[in-house]
Amino acid sequence: MDKLIIEGGRRLSGTIRVSGSKNAALPILFAAILCDGPASLGNVPDLRDISTTLNLLETLGCQIQKADGRCSMECRNLHSEAPYELVRTMRASVLCLGPLLARTGRARVALPGGCAIGARPVDQHLKGLERLGASFHIDEGYIVGKCKKLTGTRVAFDMPTVGGTENLLMAASMASGETVIENAAREPEVVDLANFLIACGANIEGHGESVIHIQGRESLHGCAYDIMPDRIEAGTFMVAAGITRGELLLENCPHDELKAVIAKLAEMGMEIGRLEDGRTRVKCDGRLDCVDIKTQPYPGFPTDMQAQIMALMCLSRGAAVVEESIFENRFMHVQELLRMGANIRVSGRTAMVKGVRRLSGAPVMASDLRASASLVLAGLAAHGITDISRIYHLDRGYESIEKKLNAVGAAISRQSE
């Protein structure tokens, strides 16, 4: 297992290019199962979760070729078992359920276990797909699903679930008749998936809103499509500029999809603006103030940025409340930040953060993807050396983060533990 060694206290300055979105690429890769022709994807980030997904797709019988930055896939002779050893490493594997049922009428997908941030059930996915005519039972830890033909109908989610909306979008695209998804997730990654499906011939309206209409198609063809930039990676680099009191220019930054994050960072005292050439300039040259945060479904403040902005607040003036309303256990970074001298008190889903003058480098342990990003950010600003172990969590969602940060003035080295 690898670890990162960070020498803190260095101001970041320079230009960083934002990679393709992990959370848009994953559902789009699974959606290629629906296509009866080749799909060619651009701007696919080079991440552990992406290689896990490509392995799973090959296990399902897809042919995959990667050349000059594009990923081409053809899914002809599919079989329908997604094995536990792959699914347990990546919960998003459950996104193959909808496409497999739509394309083959059957699916056998390992039940994803829980993960560090919460139980993360898939009951909404199954309930929605049952509404379309699928039936499921659990056998030896696997979700076994089958359907004669999926038939469009009205599906109302109990809560706006990103994965549930994505599974239903994919299944409904090839169901007979119209499906209406109510209380749909509005995240930009859901919109990117819908745009990919439309490029493959699907008939979808209302994506990005809470009610989505899908007219099913007999079949979908392949297409060439470029994945949207990663708004959470971009937001993480914005915090990196703030926590080191530096200045960064972000290329390919999805500025419009980060409005809630930019508003909060500006409220704290950061300067964030879009340049004529389309790059986003992020600057912080003074003290910042703590601000209250409550994570919400899009377009609210994203839960995937909660750990990162908490690290920034540890070194800001005053005190503020961070409320995590999406997941039940998404404060795993707190114990590690406390080891670095932060002042944070957790009660249930709420954390009270009081700014301190300085953080000290320390040996800390990554626990999940965004918690590890939070520790990297704290390490950039801490006095002394921060040693972050188990950074395989980080590699799941950030493309060579130490290379990108070292190119703008950080001092991070990767060592094997």
Active site residues: 115
Q: Cβ distance 382 to 8 under 8 Å?
A: yes
CB of 388 to ligand EPZ, least distance (A): 17
Task: Give the pair of three-digit tokens for residue 393.
Answer: 């969590």
Q: How far is the CB of 9 from ligand EPZ (least distance, A)?
A: 28
Joined tokens for residue 96: 């193959």
Binding part of the chain for ligand EPZ, among 121-129, 244-252, 253-261, 284-292 by CB under 6 A, reads 121-129
Cβ closer to ligand EPZ: 280 or 295?
Answer: 295
Is the Cβ of residue 30 or residue 225 nearer to ligand EPZ in the bound state? 30
Token digits of residue 219: 């079949």
Return the residue of 21, 23, 93, 280 that touches ligand EPZ, per CB under 6 A: 23
- Binding residues for ligand EPZ, how many (CB under 6 A)? 24
Take residue 143 and report the two structure tokens written for it: 């979700």
Binding residue (CB under 6 A) for ligand EPZ from 8, 45, 133, 164: 164
Beta-strand pair 2-7/412-416 = antiparallel
Q: Identify the residue among 163, 188, 235, 355 touching ligand EPZ (CB under 6 A).
A: 163
Phi and psi angles of residue 327, each rounded to the nearest 5 degrees, phi first: -115, 150
DSSP code at position 398: -
Using rule CB under 6 A, residue 21 touches ligand EPZ:
no
When asked if residue 155 is in the footprint of ligand EPZ (CB under 6 A), the reply is no
300 lines the binding site for ligand EPZ (CB under 6 A): no
Residue of 214, 165, 97, 50 whose CA lies nearest to 41: 50
**Cβ-proximal residue to ligand EPZ, closest one:** 163
Question: Could you tell me which residues come within 8 angstroms of residue 229 by beta carbon, excluding any fewer than 6 positions away?
Answer: 18, 19, 20, 21, 43, 252, 253, 254
Minimum CB–partner distance for residue 207 and ligand EPZ (Å): 15
Query: What is the DSSP annotation of 206-218?
Result: -BTBSEEEEE--S
Q: CA-CA distance, 9 to 226, in Å (whole number)?
A: 37
Figure out which of the listed residues 46, 58, 123, 182 binds ligand EPZ, where binding follows CB under 6 A: 123
Return the range that interacts with ligand EPZ (CB under 6 A); candidates 133-141, 161-169, 313-321, 356-364: 161-169
Question: Which two tokens mark 37?
Answer: 């022709």
Determine which residue in the list 120, 221, 358, 390 makes contact with ligand EPZ, applying CB under 6 A: 120
Strand ranges in 318-411 using DSSP code E only, listed in sequence order: 319-323, 343-347, 350-354, 363-365, 385-389
Report the alpha-carbon angle 238-364-10, nearest 5: 40
Q: Indicate whether 98 belongs to the interface with ligand EPZ (CB under 6 A).
A: no
167 makes contact with ligand EPZ (CB under 6 A): no
Q: By CB under 6 A, tell whether 161 contacts ligand EPZ.
A: yes
Nearest distance from C-beta of residue 415 to ligand EPZ, angstroms: 25
Does the footprint of ligand EPZ cover residue 303 (CB under 6 A)? yes
Count of alpha carbons within 13 Å of 235, Cβ hemisphere only? 30
**Is 121 near ligand EPZ (CB under 6 A)?**
yes
CB of 383 to ligand EPZ, least distance (A): 29
Provide, for the chain, the percentages of residues in helix, strand and coil under a 3-state DSSP scheme, each rounded to the nearest 5.
Answer: 35, 30, 35
Nearer to ligand EPZ, 127 or 283 (CB): 127
- Nearest distance from residue 341's CB to ligand EPZ, in Å? 26
188 touches ligand EPZ by CB under 6 A: no
- Tell me phi and psi for residue 250, to 5 degrees: -105, 120
Place of tokens 């590890």: 372
> Would you call the peptide bond into 299 cis, given omega within 30 degrees of 0 as the criterion?
yes
For residue 93, state whether it binds ligand EPZ (rule: CB under 6 A). Answer: no
- Residues engaged in binding ligand EPZ (CB under 6 A): 23, 26, 92, 118, 120-125, 159, 161-164, 185, 189, 303-304, 326-327, 369-370, 397
